[in-house]
Amino acid sequence: MPSEIMKILIVEDNPGDMILLREVFKEFGNGEFKLNCVDRLTDALKELSGSEVDAVLLDLSLPESTGLETLVQVLEADSLAPIIVVTGLNDEATAYKALGLGAQDYIVKGEINGERLVRALRFSVIRNRQKNLVKLEEVERGSSGPVKAPPGSRGTTPPTDPFRGNGDDTHR
């Protein structure tokens, strides 16, 4: 469990949904999250440009923007913070498009499970921090390529079958 407080920007214009999300974090967040809630896209963009945010929970239907354009604008404002779409639109095609654009997850409001939402948020922040750390290390080394295996490691290719350990068939 992370020991530092994660700063979460919630972009939601429906007061009832905002209350629900706050309750989810109160019940399942274990005090790990500091929530900043805004109800307009322009306020979210200002927040992203003016402060550090660990993750964004984003509704796609806002007064100033709807659909995937909302996601695109937030991604353009801050490409470092992971974005989890939390929307009333239960459409698998839109979900895949959102993930393809860069959203970490797509959660339908009517299907929210508090424990899973908090876990998805934690994991997306951790994955994103690791990804950004690798990018930073590459920049510091002056490399833009993949991270190489350290000397003496067994190899650089992961096994093709995760149930077979290291890919060696001799231990069956």
- CATH classification at residue 75: 3.40.50.2300
Q: Is residue 155 part of a domain?
A: no
Does this model's pTM top 0.85? My answer is no
| Average pLDDT score, the chain | 81
Whether 153 has a pLDDT exceeding 60, the answer reads: no
Question: Is residue 45 a contact partner of residue 132, using CB atoms and an 8 Å limit?
Answer: no
SS3 content of the chain, % helix, strand, coil (to 5): 45, 15, 35
- Total count of residues recorded for the chain: 172
Q: pLDDT, tens digit, for every residue of 86-104?
A: 999 899 999 999 999 999 9
Q: pLDDT, tens digit, for every residue of 26-56?
A: 999 888 899 999 999 999 999 998 878 999 9
Whether 168 has a pLDDT exceeding 60, the answer reads: no
Q: Is residue 129 part of a domain?
A: yes
Q: For 36, list phi and psi in degrees, rounded to 5.
A: -125, 115
Least confident of 94-108, 114-128, 142-156: 142-156
Range of the domain at 67: 6-141
Name the domain count of the chain.
1
Task: Quote the percentage of the chain above a pLDDT of 70.
Answer: 80
3-state secondary structure of 143: coil
Overall average pLDDT of the 118-134 stretch: 87
Give every CB contact of residue 61 below 8 A, 6+ residues apart in sequence: 13, 67, 70, 87, 88, 89
Q: Is residue 76 part of a domain?
A: yes
Q: What is the pLDDT of residue 38?
A: 96
Q: Is residue 64 part of a domain?
A: yes
Whether 165 has a pLDDT exceeding 60, the answer reads: no
Whether 160 has a pLDDT exceeding 50, the answer reads: no
Q: Is residue 118 part of a domain?
A: yes
Q: Is residue 48 part of a domain?
A: yes
* Distance (Å, whole) CA 93 – CA 15: 27
Whether 21 has a pLDDT exceeding 50, the answer reads: yes
Q: Is residue 156 part of a domain?
A: no
Q: Is residue 137 part of a domain?
A: yes
Q: Which residue has the higher pLDDT, 133 or 27?
A: 27
Whether 59 has a pLDDT exceeding 90, the answer reads: yes
